[in-house]
Amino acid sequence: MTETNIAWRTNNGAAYVPSPIVSGNHLLVVADNGVANCFDAKSGKCLWRERLDGGHSPSAVMANGTTYCLSDKDEATLIRLGDEFEVVAKNDLGEPVSASPAISQGQVFIRTHQALYCIGKK
């Protein structure tokens, strides 16, 4: 890749383990330390930066406009990606989480260290 192919770059908010997620013109990066940065995907401008609870190894996932961010500790923070930070819900899972959630056919699967949860329609 050459410099002419790079639209923008930043070292702020970089993640080592969790993968970033894109929705429309929003790029969300939740770093390992739990700091979430939302960038304008085209310009690279940081739209907001917020600390989520705990460290974050699981990657964020999105379904129906809601982004699921799970902490290593035990917290699920659901946010709506946009120009401003908006928390939809917060839930205590009661135990550590290391795996990214999986989404299929209207269901969200969350694997904690001790259990597998399915949230959604039967």
Residues 33, 104: Cα–Cα separation, whole Å = 28
* Cβ-based neighbour number of residue 106 at 10 Å: 11
Q: Is the pTM of this model over 0.75?
A: yes
Residues 94, 70: Cα–Cα separation, whole Å = 12
Task: With CA atoms as reference, report the closest residue to 80 among 13, 21, 3.
Answer: 21
Indicate if the pLDDT at residue 1 is higher than 80.
Answer: no
Fold (topology level) of 3-97: Lipocalin (2.40.128)
pLDDT for the residue numbered 61: 96
What digits encode the pLDDT tens for the residues 36-88?
999 999 999 999 999 998 899 999 999 989 999 999 999 999 999 999 999 99
C-alpha dist (Å) from residue 97 to 4, 58, 111: 40, 8, 7
Which residues share a beta bridge with 27?
Answer: 22, 39
What digits encode the pLDDT tens for the residues 36-49?
999 999 999 999 99
Indicate if the pLDDT at residue 4 is higher than 90.
Answer: no
